[in-house]
Amino acid sequence: MKKILGILGLLIVVCVVTASLSDSFLSAYNVENVLRRSALFGILSIGVAFVIITGGIDLSLGSVVCLVGCGLPWLLTVHHWPLGIALPVVLTVAMGIGLAHGLLITKLRIQPFIVTLCGLLLYRGIARGFTGDQTVGFGSEFKGIRMLATGKIPFLPGFELPAPVVFLAVVAVVAAVFLNRTIFGRYLLALGRNPQAATYSGIPTERMTVLAYVISSGLAGVGGVFFVLDVNSAQPVDFGNFYELYAIAAAVLGGCSLRGGEGSVVGVLVGATLMQVLRNMITLVTTRNNVEFAIIGAVILIGVIADELARRFAARRRTARAMQSVPQAGAQV
Amino acid sequence: MSVPVLEARRIVKSFGGVRALRGVSLAVHAGEVLAVIGENGAGKSTLMKILAGVQGPDTGELIIDGQVRAIRSVQEALSLGIALIHQELNLAETLDVGANIYLGREPQRMGWIDSGRINRESRVVLEQVGLAVSPETLVSELTIGQQQLVEIAKALSVKARVLIMDEPTSSLSGYEAQNLLRLIRELRSRGVAIVYISHRLGEVHGLADRVEVLRDGENAGQLSGGEISHPAMVRLMVGRELSQFYPHKVHPSGAPVLEVEGLRTRAHPRHAVNFQVRAGEVVGMAGLVGAGRTEVLEALFGITPALAGAVRVDGRALAAESPRAAMDAGLALVPEDRKHDGLVLEMGVRENISLATLHRDQRRGFLNRQQERALCEEMVGAMRIKTPNAEQPVQFLSGGNQQKVVIGKWLATRPRVLLLDEPTRGVDIGAKQEIYLLMEELASKGVAVLFVSSDLEEILGMSDRVLVLHEGRLAGELSRGELSEEAVMHLATGAGPRVSHPVPVS
Ligand SMILES: Nc1ncnc2c1ncn2[C@@H]1O[C@H](COP(=O)(O)OP(=O)(O)OP(=O)(O)O)[C@@H](O)[C@H]1O
Ligand SMILES: [Mg+2]
């Protein structure tokens, strides 16, 4: 919990600063928009957090978003597959990708970075291939299913909750329970810290690692579906571009250590929200979108540095307090 | 008396709420061996790390050759001639032996690392410690005992005036340990001051000129010369007498529980090993470092599956292709290297203790947290684990208490066959006896106990029967009646003449 306080503080600071610089930040329209984007990225971030907890990394998820996000409208509008088949198919493909990653990493012992880097190139390439690089979309059809991403649920007078937020809440609760309350979550945390000791304790480390990659790619697939439902059309060239970096940054800001074995779902959610608020701030406050990456990079760096300093400060405080409780025995001997 | 080369006065050191040292003083002179002993968590390692500049004291002063000095870093300590061999191994596993010995002070020639010189000089120190491997061997290929010898060689290469050894023999077998003790005497006669920490009181008795006893972060007493005796040391350490150190009783052994036939391990594929362990029997497995004892246990437990062989537990064939399969058959393994294989260091005591029983105690996949807490409490109590609370990360426990956590984890599985690899490595005398009592109690309940140990005294004291391995081969089996130090050593060294004796220090 304490780990989250720092990033939560940063989120509040960024919100306050943005609100004071721009009147439209707190408008219902903008808040709903930021929440929707945060929810969509939150789904991806939770997925990649599982992989990061095992000590791995998933660089491919932006391309999985692209593959699924282009694949779904392509199957529906070009091939006229029924929704009840197309949707399960694209999600199964996404999970199959995770399964393949996991098996390559555990059975062939190829490094996660390499496996998923190749995935990053591969899946976007495939999506560009089967669409012939053409934009795909739903046009004016599929209004019903698109409500999943674009719909709103009355919440407060004058304010409605975007549907993806509700979906994210469900995903987050399930993920948090899985991580903290099931033996499998404990297995993941243990093997992320020390895979050897986990193996010696009879934990099926390979199967658990594969599971983490399936979760990551699976949620990337779900995210892809939501993203394309939200924006209505996808361009294979850049749909989902850099999303893996937003997701990884959100997870790390939220307290996942890239060394593995550490991370909380709530932290990841705060991290994902922070990223979207930052992007929102840049569009609202500046007229120059081209500095977006520079600002985001700087804020992540500040966040990580602040977190590290806070931890050191806490450690020193702890020592100092313990010192006071030591009777001055040492001084008299 | 002469001026001490190194003296520590009233050292205080706390970690969070844990007061590790509460005003400890200590002095060591040139040409003497000062043994520092004490129970697990007494503060020995902490004090040594302060002497060697690894960590600073909260208060207190260090005096070198009569002058007050601050030692702010390991580099500074080394330049003052103080070298420390850590209790836990600190080698870079992906580098070779020579690179490890000269890590951080590589000799250079025109800006390039002079690997010729590294190899030449490494060979000399390796020979001194009696380790017959090339400096170009990767550290990851060595056993723990061999890695320990590399650590010692590394400290020797510094040519220190004060050499601090924190449990250097804890994973050496009798033979290598003897060799090390000979080397220490040699260094002493050359005027090196040696601080020696060990839980093997027999060693301390034979070696030390003076003994400094620590208890709960304070000086508990000093012994020198003729006062140094086993009972005297124990009394100062634990504050009471320990009667009948080995609780061993001869067990009426039952049916064979563990049967091993034709087991061939990857390390020694040419030799097949056959043996049995009966219900209620405590069997010791002896041998030199590298004899293949750990490999046998790890093959049984499915860590590195055997190449060939049949294993039966209670008459049922066990295909141990994974630790989980071995656990389901009733096996438990307390591994040799607790830091690497036994513990998740950053996790708490509770989470470590429950790690091997989570699947048994689960409720449809959910953690049974009540059960988990109860189990932790039970084990902390039964093993007398010294920890501020159940959530304390085990990395902050002393070595002996870490070992108890590992044993507790495996006792929790209620095994039929308990395999222990160096169960008392780095464990203090009180805790040792508790571990022996536990082994004894389990055996009396019909558990088959098989333990590997490099501590000959322990092998002799605790075994109903001893299996001796030599270079992967079962060199012999000794029943309780035939047991003697000579008989074990004879078999362990391949009957003497075939062993190449290390070159004595010149
Ligand atoms: N970095 C640390 N953080 C918190 N507590 C620590 C740390 N290092 C040591 N301690 C605590 O300080 C006390 C002394 O530990 P130390 O390792 O010096 O004991 P020791 O005498 O060497 O024991 P052993 O024989 O088991 O090696 C222990 O209670 C230990 O838990
Ligand atoms: Mg110690």
Domain limits, chain A = 2-8+22-310
Within a 13 Å sphere around the CA of B424, how many CA atoms are in the beta-carbon half? Answer: 27
User: Number of residue pairs across A and B with CB atoms under 8 Å?
Assistant: 103
Which pLDDT belongs to residue B132? 87
pLDDT digits (tens, 9 = 90+) for B212-246: 999 989 999 999 988 998 888 888 888 776 666 78
User: Rounded to 10 degrees, what is the CA torsion of A97, A98, A100, A103?
Assistant: 180
Residue with CA nearest ligand 1 atom 24: B40
Residues in A touching B393 (Cβ below 8 Å): none
pLDDT digits (tens, 9 = 90+) for A211-251: 999 999 999 999 999 999 999 999 999 999 999 999 999 99
User: How close is the Cα of B20 to the center of ligand 1, in Å?
Assistant: 6
Write the ipTM: 0.85
- Beta-strand relationship, B256-264 and A233-234: unpaired
The alpha-carbon radius of gyration of chain B (Å, integer) is 23
Residues in A touching B346 (Cβ below 8 Å): 193, 261
Q: How many CB atoms lie within 10 A of CB B127?
A: 16
At residue A189 the predicted structure's pLDDT band, cuts being 50, 70 and 90, is very high
Question: Which of B15, B358, B373 best probes binding to A when mutated, by most A CB atoms within 10 angstroms?
Answer: B358
Per-residue 3-state assignment (H helix, E strand, C coil) for B46-58 = HHHHHHCCCCCCC
Residues in B touching A261 (Cβ below 8 Å): 344, 346
List B264's β-bridge partners, or say none. Answer: B308
Q: Does A108 touch chain B (CB under 8 A)?
A: no
pLDDT digits (tens, 9 = 90+) for B344-366: 999 999 999 999 999 999 999 99
Which pLDDT belongs to residue A5? 81
Q: Taking every pair of C-alpha atoms in chain A, what is the biggest distance, in angstroms? A: 88
Inter-chain touch A333–B23, beta carbons under 8 Å: yes
Both tokens of B395, joined, read 């990395």
Residue of B45, B166, B171, B424 with the most ligand 1 atoms within 8 Å of its CB, for mutation? B45
At residue B498 the predicted structure's pLDDT band, cuts being 50, 70 and 90, is very low
- Which A residues 36-75 touch B at CB under 8 Å? none
pLDDT digits (tens, 9 = 90+) for B19-35: 899 999 999 999 999 99
Q: Is the dihedral of CA B431, B434, B440, B442 positive or negative?
A: negative
Q: What angle do CA B16, B22, B28 make, to 5 degrees?
A: 125
Atom of ligand 1 nearest to the CA of B397: 31
Residue with CA nearest ligand 1 atom 27: B399
User: How close is the Cα of B452 to the center of ligand 1, in Å?
Assistant: 26
- Beta-strand relationship, B331-334 and B465-470: unpaired
- Nearest-Cα distance to chain A for B395, in Å, is 12
Inter-chain touch A200–B365, beta carbons under 8 Å: no
At residue A48, φ and ψ (nearest 5 deg) are -70, -25
Are B349 and B395 spatial neighbours (Cβ–Cβ below 8 Å)?
no
pLDDT digits (tens, 9 = 90+) for B168-214: 888 787 777 888 898 899 899 999 999 999 988 888 999 999 999 99
The three-state secondary structure class of B112 is strand
Are A255 and A262 spatial neighbours (Cβ–Cβ below 8 Å)?
yes
Both tokens of A163, joined, read 């549907």
Q: Mean pLDDT, to the nearest integer, of A308-318?
A: 69
Please name the member of B324, B343, B346 whose beta carbon is closest to the beta carbon of A202.
B324
Q: Mean pLDDT, to the nearest integer, of B483-490?
A: 87
Which of A227, A230, A77 has the alpha carbon at shortest distance from A139? Answer: A77
Q: Is the dihedral of CA A247, A250, A253, A256 positive or negative?
A: negative
Q: Does A111 touch chain B (CB under 8 A)?
A: no
How far apart, in whole angstroms, are the C-alpha atoms of residue A106 and residue A136? 36
Q: Is the pLDDT of residue B337 over 80?
A: yes
Which pLDDT belongs to residue A327? 37
Q: Say what percent of chain B tops pLDDT 70.
A: 96
Inter-chain touch B323–A182, beta carbons under 8 Å: no
Q: How far is CA B105 from its chain centroid?
A: 28
Q: What angle do CA B59, B64, B67 make, to 5 degrees?
A: 85
**Identity of the amino acid at B15:** F
Pairwise pLDDT comparison (B401 vs B319), residue with the higher score? B401
Inter-chain touch A183–B342, beta carbons under 8 Å: no
Residue that has been written with the tokens 């690894």 in this structure: B54
DSSP 8-class letter at B481: G
- Nearest-Cα distance to chain A for B35, in Å, is 22
Q: Which helix (H) or strand (E) holds B271?
A: none
Question: Which of A53, A54, A183 best probes binding to B when mutated, by most B CB atoms within 10 angstroms?
Answer: A183
Q: Is the pLDDT of residue A315 over 80?
A: no
List B68's β-bridge partners, or say none. Answer: B63
pLDDT digits (tens, 9 = 90+) for B37-46: 998 888 999 9
Q: Is the pLDDT of residue B340 over 60?
A: yes
Order the strands of the B308-313 sheet from edge to edge.
B273-278, B256-264, B308-313, B316-317
> For domain A2-8+22-310, which CATH number applies: 1.10.3470, 1.20.120, 1.20.140, 3.30.70?
1.10.3470
Measured CA distances, B40 to A86, B46, B216, B326 (Å): 63, 11, 9, 32
Delineate the domains of chain B, giving CATH numbers in brackets: 6-238 (3.40.50.300), 245-330+416-506 (3.40.50.300), 345-414 (no CATH)
Q: Does A299 touch chain B (CB under 8 A)?
A: no
Q: Is the pLDDT of residue B497 over 70?
A: no
Q: Which helix (H) or strand (E) holds A51?
A: helix A28-53
DSSP B347-374: SBHHHHHTTTTHHHH-BTTB--HHHHHH
Q: What angle do CA B419, B424, B427 make, to 5 degrees?
A: 150
Which pLDDT belongs to residue A328? 34
pLDDT digits (tens, 9 = 90+) for A58-82: 999 999 999 999 999 999 999 999 9
Inter-chain touch A330–B327, beta carbons under 8 Å: no
Q: Mean pLDDT, to the nearest integer, of A6-10?
A: 86
At residue A318 the predicted structure's pLDDT band, cuts being 50, 70 and 90, is low
Please name the member of A193, A321, A330 whose beta carbon is closest to the beta carbon of B22.
A330
Please name the member of B12, B359, B365 whose beta carbon is closest to the beta carbon of A330.
B12
Measured CA distances, A70 to A127, A194, A201, B202 (Å): 7, 39, 43, 74
Q: Is the pLDDT of residue B148 over 90?
A: no
Q: Does A324 touch chain B (CB under 8 A)?
A: no
User: Rounded to 10 degrees, what is the CA torsion of B141, B142, B148, B149?
Assistant: -120
Q: Is the pLDDT of residue B17 over 70?
A: yes
Q: Mean pLDDT, to the nearest integer, of B382-397?
A: 89
Are B62 and B54 spatial neighbours (Cβ–Cβ below 8 Å)?
no
List B13's β-bridge partners, or say none. Answer: B21
B250-256 long-range CB contacts below 8 Å, 24 or more apart?
A: B250/B464, B250/B480, B251/B280, B251/B281, B251/B282, B251/B443, B251/B444, B251/B464, B252/B280, B253/B278, B253/B279, B253/B280, B253/B281, B253/B464, B254/B278, B254/B279, B254/B280, B254/B446, B255/B279
Question: Which of A174, A191, A200 best probes binding to B when mutated, by most B CB atoms within 10 angstroms?
Answer: A200
Q: Is the pLDDT of residue B107 over 90?
A: no
pLDDT digits (tens, 9 = 90+) for B53-76: 999 999 999 999 999 998 888 889
How far apart, in whole angstroms, are the C-alpha atoms of residue B350 and residue B408? 10
Please name the member of B347, B366, B409 whose beta carbon is closest to the beta carbon of A193.
B347
- Beta-strand relationship, A136-137 and A159-162: unpaired
- Please enumerate in sequence order all residues whose Cβ is within 8 A of that of B298, keeping only pairs 6 or more positions apart, or say none: B265, B304, B333, B335
User: How close is the Cα of B39 to the center of ligand 2, in Å?
Assistant: 9
Please name the member of A181, A182, A329 whose beta carbon is closest to the beta carbon of B22.
A329
Q: Is the dihedral of CA A48, A54, A55, A60 positive or negative?
A: negative
DSSP 8-class letter at B228: -
Atom of ligand 1 nearest to the CA of B401: 26
Which pLDDT belongs to residue B82? 93
User: How close is the Cα of B494 to the center of ligand 2, in Å?
Assistant: 34
Which pLDDT belongs to residue A321? 55
User: How close is the Cα of A93 to the center of ligand 1, in Å?
Assistant: 51
Q: What angle do CA B16, B18, B21 make, to 5 degrees?
A: 115
pLDDT digits (tens, 9 = 90+) for A77-104: 999 999 999 999 999 999 999 999 999 9
Which residues have C-beta atoms less than 6 Å from ligand 1? B 15-16, 18, 20, 38, 40-46, 87, 396-400, 426, 428
Q: Is the dihedral of CA B329, B334, B337, B342 positive or negative?
A: positive
Specify the range with the lowest mean pLDDT, choosing from A243-252, B154-163, B459-468, B491-500: B491-500
Q: Say what percent of chain B tops pLDDT 90.
A: 51
Q: Please enumerate residues of B whose Cβ is less than 8 A from a Cβ of A.
A: 10-12, 14-19, 22-23, 25, 58-60, 303, 322-324, 326-327, 333, 335, 340-347, 351, 355-356, 358-359, 362, 365-367, 409
At residue B352, φ and ψ (nearest 5 deg) are -70, -40
Ligand nearest to the CA of B86: 2
Mean pLDDT of chain B: 88
Helix axis angle for B174-189 and B115-129, nearest 10°, is: 110
Q: Is the pLDDT of residue B501 over 50?
A: no
At residue A333 the predicted structure's pLDDT band, cuts being 50, 70 and 90, is very low
Inter-chain touch B322–A204, beta carbons under 8 Å: yes
Specify the range with the lowest mean pLDDT, choosing from A5-14, A270-279, A324-333, B421-430: A324-333
Residue with CA nearest ligand 1 atom 16: B43
The alpha-carbon radius of gyration of chain A (Å, integer) is 22
Inter-chain touch B323–A187, beta carbons under 8 Å: no
Q: Is the pLDDT of residue B307 over 80?
A: yes
How far apart, in whole angstroms, are the C-alpha atoms of residue B486 and residue B258? 28
Q: Is the pLDDT of residue B329 over 80?
A: yes
At residue B384 the predicted structure's pLDDT band, cuts being 50, 70 and 90, is confident
Are A223 and A43 spatial neighbours (Cβ–Cβ below 8 Å)?
yes
Q: Which helix (H) or strand (E) holds B438?
A: helix B429-444
How far apart, in whole angstroms, are the C-alpha atoms of residue A246 and residue A168? 17
Residue with CA nearest ligand 1 atom 1: B396
Residues in B touching A106 (Cβ below 8 Å): none
Which pLDDT belongs to residue A282? 87
Q: Mean pLDDT, to the nearest integer, of B477-501?
A: 75
DSSP A265-297: HHHHHHHHHHHHHHHHHHHHH-S-GGGHHHHHH
Q: Which segments of B177-217 are extended strands (E)?
A: 193-197, 210-215
User: How close is the Cα of B355 to the center of ligand 1, in Å?
Assistant: 23
Q: Does A323 touch chain B (CB under 8 A)?
A: yes
Both tokens of B462, joined, read 């605790």
Q: Does A320 touch chain B (CB under 8 A)?
A: no
Per-residue 3-state assignment (H helix, E strand, C coil) for A70-119 = HHHHHHHHHCCCCHHHHHHHHHHHHHHHHHHHHHHHHCCCCCHHHHHHHH
Residue with CA nearest ligand 1 atom 19: B41
